[in-house]
């Protein structure tokens, strides 16, 4: 199996504060990996460092064997940020054409991602008139331009109702089945069950990692929420 994402002895300091003291983790290719933890635990910071936009104080991060931030990785990684940037005064098609131009992607890729997120029928609609879920899918589509092999999705389902969340998770599994690697952050524990494997994070440290079932077995419970609480109580 070719290399996935490897983080070794990562240390991150922001504004004089140590956010990530010493992090080591490995993300397998073709898997959906969840990064779960409460607000402020460092999820976004870790994602930024994998994308290569976060200054690091120590340690190393490689993506597919290349140093994070390398130019060669630019089109191989799709990043969906918490402040997903779509232009509400543009249509779906116009939004995607705009981002495609920045990324040097073709018109074909625009139509490909529209199809993938099931927005082809909405392509002429202004983003301002989209429903919450449609807007989330449009934002996701921008991260899918250029067929990245690694998708870094920072809380992509936040604010969506359960049906829309399920639809998005179906899409994530479809992408993983195509061989893509997905790192998805959430602070909603019930989403953990939909991941192939998980890292539970707190104060910039990994409390535990494994498949949802392994973590439940370790904590002797059937509920993901209880797993997290029991880990915190063991500290
Ligand atoms: N630019 C910054 N300067 C200083 N501290 C920062 C900066 N950005 C984030 N932090 C701090 O780093 C810690 C981790 O933040 P991060 O955004 O990675 O958390 P998160 O797990 O993504 O949280 P959330 O679930 O709220 O998105 C927090 O304590 C935050 O206050
Ligand atoms: Mg965050």
Nearest one of 26, 29, 76, 28 to 46, comparing CA atoms: 26
pLDDT of residue 91: 97
Please tell me the distance between residue 20's alpha carbon and the centre of ligand 1 in angstroms.
10
pLDDT of residue 235: 65
pLDDT of residue 162: 84
Q: What's 185's DSSP letter?
A: E
pLDDT of residue 160: 79
- 165 pocket-lining for ligand 1 (C-beta < 6 Å): no
Quick one: which atom of ligand 1 is closest to the CA of 187? 25
Task: Indicate the helix (H) or strand (E) that contains 225.
Answer: helix 224-234
104: tokens are 């040097």
- 49 pocket-lining for ligand 1 (C-beta < 6 Å): no
Domain ranges of the chain: 83-147
How far is Cα 189 from Cα 171, in angstroms, rounded to an integer?
19
Please tell me the distance between residue 19's alpha carbon and the centre of ligand 2 in angstroms.
12
pLDDT of residue 104: 87
pLDDT of residue 81: 84
pLDDT of residue 84: 67
Please tell me the distance between residue 44's alpha carbon and the centre of ligand 1 in angstroms.
7
Give the contacts of 67 (CB within 8 A, at least 6 positions apart).
60, 61
pLDDT of residue 234: 75
**What percent of the chain shows pLDDT beyond 70?**
99
Low-confidence ranges of the chain (pLDDT < 70): 1, 84, 235
How far is Cα 140 from Cα 116, in angstroms, rounded to an integer?
10
> Mutual orientation of helices 132-144 and 92-103 as an angle, nearest 10°?
20
- 89 pocket-lining for ligand 1 (C-beta < 6 Å): no
Please tell me the distance between residue 21's alpha carbon and the centre of ligand 1 in angstroms.
14
Q: What is the pLDDT of residues 98-144, one digit of tens each?
A: 999 988 889 999 999 999 888 999 999 999 999 888 888 899 899 89
At which residue do the structure tokens 């010493």 appear?
22
235: tokens are 């500290």
């Amino acid at each position: 199996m070719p290399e996935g994402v490897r983080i070794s002895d990562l240390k991150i300091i922001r504004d004089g504060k140590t956010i990530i003291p010493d992090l080591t983790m490995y993300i397998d290719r073709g898997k959906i990996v969840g990064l779960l933890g409460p607000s402020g635990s460092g999820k976004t910071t870790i994602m930024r460092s994998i994308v290569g936009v976060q200054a690091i104080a120590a340690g190393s991060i490689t993506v597919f064997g290349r140093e994070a931030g390398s130019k060669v990785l630019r089109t191989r990684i799709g990043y969906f940020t918490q402040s997903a940037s779509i232009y509400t005064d543009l249509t779906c098609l116009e939004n995607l054409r705009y981002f495609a131009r920045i990324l040097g992607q073709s018109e074909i890729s625009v139509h490909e991602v529209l199809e993938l997120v099931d927005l082809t029928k909405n392509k002429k609609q202004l983003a301002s008139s989209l429903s919450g879920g449609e807007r989330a899918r449009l934002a996701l589509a921008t991260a899918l331009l250029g067929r990245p092999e690694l998708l870094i999705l920072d809380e992509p389902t936040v604010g969506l109702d359960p049906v829309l969340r399920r639809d998005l998770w179906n899409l994530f599994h479809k992408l993983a089945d195509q061989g893509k690697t997905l790192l998805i952050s959430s602070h909603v524990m019930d989403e953990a069950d939909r991941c192939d494997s998980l890292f539970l994070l707190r104060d910039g440290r990994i409390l535990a990692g494994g498949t949802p079932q392994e973590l439940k077995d370790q904590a002797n419970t059937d509920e993901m929420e209880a797993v997290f609480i029991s880990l915190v109580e063991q500290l």
